[in-house]
Amino acid sequence: MRTNFYRSMEQAASTLKISFDHPNPNAQRYYLMGSCFSDSMKMQLESRGKQVASNPFGTLFHPHAISQWLRFTMDGIPNEEALFLVEHEGEWRSLMGGKVLRADSKESLRARINNLLLDSKQALAQAECLVITLGTAHGWYYEGKHLVGNCQRLPQQAFEQRLTPLNELTRDYAELLEQLALNYPALKVIVSVSPVKHWRLGIVNNLLGKARLIELAHSLNCTYFPGYEWVSEVLRDYSYYESDGCHPNEIAVQRVSKFFLK
């Protein structure tokens, strides 16, 4: 169930404004990728006069999916196998991205992805700060072997859920940060863990996934922003969550955004 705040946030994200276009050319430029918390942060940062590009390929929760799209953005157009293009219920979808990566035909979907990648490459090159918001270390594997970015509402039995080992995550992100530093020497990278709870995983698995992400983030040579800790340990009250008990509400997001900008 989505509340009015998160429905409006999703609608704002669905406009897919990737390029920076702001009346103040000196406004700070942020590129956000990751969980739906990135999109809620986008709204708050824009309200404070920042230029923000957020989740051009849809909502992504797993670290590998986020790093893969950043590599696609830097390296160029990926092949169809890497994008996991599948047809379901008369619609083509990329299992590497969110619901924005759907089209009536495979050709239309490829064209859409190519355009998004070109726009994203330009936006990332112009950004002063890249903020990666990790959602969970639990991965969903299509047909038991291909880690996906989003299940795209395919039948649940088509996927196998597994917790990704920490050493795989740290190796992936150490290499990613090296590549980002090589391509964008002036880019500041901030990693955060989303405070959105994954209750469908169960209480224990939700916390296990978050703990692994926190350990990953603290092992990296970049800035860590404690968004998860701020909501969980400073606000510490379900009055700061939506009625679903999973998503921080607008007041919580406003407070975290204010803390972030400090």
Q: Is the pLDDT of residue 15 over 50?
A: no
The model's pLDDT over 151-188, given as tens digits with 9 standing for 90+, comes to: 999 998 999 999 999 999 999 999 999 999 999 999 99
Q: What's the 3-state SS for the chain?
A: CCCHHHHHHHHHHCCCCCCCCCCCCCCCEEEEEECHHHHHHHHHHHHCCCEEEECCCCCCCCHHHHHHHHHHHHHCCCCHHHHCEEEECCEEEECCCCCCCEECCHHHHHHHHHHHHHHHHHHHHHCCEEEEEECCCEEEEECCCEECCCCCCCCHHHEEEEECCHHHHHHHHHHHHHHHHHHCCCCEEEEEECCCCCHHHCHHHHHHHHHHHHHHHHCCCCEEECHHHHHHHHHCCHHHECCCCCCECHHHHHHHHHHHHC
Q: Under CATH, domain 4-11+28-261 is a member of which superfamily?
A: SGNH hydrolase (3.40.50.1110)
Q: What is the pLDDT of residue 5?
A: 42
Q: Is the pLDDT of residue 13 over 80?
A: no
Q: What is the pLDDT of residue 1?
A: 44
Binned at pLDDT 50, 70 and 90, residue 101 comes out as: very high
Binned at pLDDT 50, 70 and 90, residue 6 comes out as: very low
Average pLDDT of every residue of the chain: 89
Delimit the domains of the chain by residue range. Answer: 4-11+28-261
The model's pLDDT over 62-82, given as tens digits with 9 standing for 90+, comes to: 999 999 999 999 998 788 889
Q: What is the pLDDT of residue 20?
A: 61
